Structures are given as structure tokens and as C-alpha cells.
Structure 1
Amino acid sequence: MVENTHVDVKRLSFERAIEELETIVRRLEEGKVPLEESVTIYERGEALKRRCEELLRQAEARVDKITTDSAGQPAGTEPLDVQ
């Protein structure tokens, strides 16, 4: 993936955000990035992490809405098995 720090994080899908975040982590772990660039991509990584968390919260809320009735009680569906 070619890192594009000009794309607004708020417009990225979960998959794109996590992919870019993984690239940033990999680059930082290699230790071959100059200090100034490290700071810049670390900041972008933080924004990407927040975006992923936001999207996960939204997805969780949607699943909760689907699996509960109007009184907030389970609607008889099976729990989501995420592995």
C-alpha cells in the first residue's frame, strides 16, 4: 500500500484505515524513519487508531440495535462469534 497522508482519515473505511495503520507501525518498528517523519506518521497513526475505534463502536451499536427489541431485551438472536 502506498501511504497517502493527504487523505482525510475521517473519510477512510475501517479496512483502509487499519491497513494504513499497520503500514505505519511496521515502518516505525523498522526504525529507519527519520525523527521528524516518525513524529508525523505517529500522529497520523493516532488519528487512524481513533478512526478505527469510532467505526468499531458504530458497528457494535448497529449490532446491538439489531439484536435487542424496543425494551432493550435480547431479541432471541445468537451472540456474534468473532474469532
Structure 2
Amino acid sequence: MPVLKTICDIVPEIAADAKERFGFEKCCTDWRDLRQQLRSKAAQPQNPQPQVPQSAPVAKFCGKCGSPLNEAGKCPNCDNNQPQA
């Protein structure tokens, strides 16, 4: 569904009437106001790029039994704290 933003007419009463009748968000009487709105919108990024992680965390595995180590760096199966080489 299109969004009606601003309507412009040199006669303020006509601009206000058209705003109400057709559902515009704003009205103005000077076309330079429209140009300024467009310039300010163009200067702002509408859809910034999402931040992408540089690298994924690397899982560490136990050197004794091969199980993944927990956050503390210990093996939950054999309590070894030596990662695989």
C-alpha cells in the first residue's frame, strides 16, 4: 500500500483540504520544502548493512578422549584440560 507523505499547493487552503481528503501526512505551500525533505532523506541510510561477525568461535576438543571442552576449558567426561594439538 503506498504511503502519501506530502502534498504541495501555493494556496494553503487547497493544500490543507487535499491533505485531509486524500490522506496525506503533511501539506506545504513551497516546493522547496519538498526538495529539502528529499535531500535530508537521501543523506540518511535507510537500510544499514547488518554487522557480520569476523570469525566464528572455534570449538576445542579434549586431547585424551576427543569430547568438546566446556567454557572453562575442561573435558566434562574425563576432567582433562589439555586440548588436542
TM over 0.5: no
Structure ranking higher in helix proportion: 1
The structure whose Rg is larger is: 2
Structure of higher RCO (CA pairs closer than 8 Å, 6+ residues apart):
1
